[in-house]
Amino acid sequence: MFNFLKKKVAAHTLASPCNGNAVKMTEVNDPTFSAEMLGKGAAVVPADGKIVSPCDGTITMLFNTLHAVGITSADGIEVLLHVGIDTVNLKGNGFTAHVKQGDMVKRGDLLLTADLDAIKAAGYDPTVMMVVTNTGDFASVESSAPCTAVAGNDLVTVKEK
């Protein structure tokens, strides 16, 4: 009866960073990510090597090995995109950056290109993890995985406290 008195919880969405098959983070073949030690989110087994921004924001970190990029959204969501498991060992081989630290990006902008064949040939899993590293700042971080992921389409919903 008094629903108008209830506070509306703001929700923000993060788009899939690539095309492929989205899986729950807990199913990733890496104990740090699957235990959600870095935060909650989703993972995508990529169909191609184009990694795009899941939100409007600022590039806050670009690893020199180009396998990972950090973005702070306009809504204060801190997102880590990590391409592959143990791909830091490739030392940048197979990765091309299309952004640099400090760049402003829009949802869907190309961030990285990964040579999936080279990653697989080197013996690494190319799964892309999208982690909300400040998960504790929000009421919930929920993924729509498992599903077919389309780069730029909603994949994770983040609700404010």
Active site residues: 82
Per-residue 3-state assignment (H helix, E strand, C coil) for the chain: CCHHHCCCCCEEEEEECCCEEEEEHHHCCCHHHHCCCCCEEEEEEECCCEEECCCCEEEEEECCCCCEEEEEECCCCEEEEEEEECHHHHCCCCEEECCCCCCEECCCCEEEEECHHHHHHCCCEEEEEEEECCHHHEEEEEECCCEEECECCEEEEEEEC
Q: Encoding tokens for residue 140?
A: 């919930």
